[in-house]
Chain A
Amino acid sequence: MSVSPINIFVPKHGGKLGEGFARHEIIDSYAYPGRRTKSHAYTSPASEVTGLADARKAIQLCEVCRLHFNPRKEHYRIRFVPSIDTSGYTASGRCDACLQHGATNAIFVPEEIWEAVSCDPQETRIRARMAWKRREKLPSVFDVLSRIRRRIAEEIQRRKNHG
């Protein structure tokens, strides 16, 4: 005779069911599970991404799945967030296609809301370039001054030589 096991679910910190969960645990339960991977309700990665694009949702893709997605065709752009130690285009999270977690993913957002939710990389580059030019400008000014000083010294020497 076999006895089927009985599972008894007890809340973590005592109390009634549903109580005793941390805020982040409750909010984690709201997380969208992603595409369906069971055999009886299967959604392919391509179908999932196409569905997200049709609904104009943000799409996060890993480096591999990104190769199969044409953002220009779907009118999507990569979201940019200024960062001191990354390119600004990378993001961490779960790939919407392969469901793998990664730290070098990219978030694609619809073009019509890109300006609202993404920083402008061109503006960031212009600021960085201007800062670089300002740093380069100083030595060039000093170069001009040193050239003038050298010309004056040469002129003084020439006058001395010619009496």
Chain B
Amino acid sequence: MSFNNLDQLYRSVIMDHYKKPRNKGSLDESSLTIDMNNPTCGDRIHLTLKLNNGIVEDAKFDGEGCSISMSSASMMTETIKGKHIDDALKYADVFSKMMLGEEIDEDTIDELGDVAALQGVSKFPARIKCATLAWKAMEKGVKNESK
């Protein structure tokens, strides 16, 4: 058995978010709701966002999925809370680039916080969709709202 390669994927910070998800649950009915699933594997996310004057005041998620998809959702909500939606969308863009294995500058990495731990996912092509699910849901919701 070998687990060396796996350590690039499964970092303690990821497993911590998986086992103790932040912002788990659902905001009240007045909030923006996005449901998304990954039909190929069955992962699903229910994301609720409270937007006020272009600021993401609160974010919660619920759902089912693997450690990568659920930890990514947990980290994403942490990162975007309190941020302007333009920044949230910028981070989503950075995250997509990160999943493609592109270099991200140090300052942006710092802004992303725990999310940076997901960089290793880019080396596991079959798992990229797991990591991007929550971000795609957030992008969809925010873009619809700002139309």
Are both chains from one complex? no
Residues of A within 8 A of B (CB): none
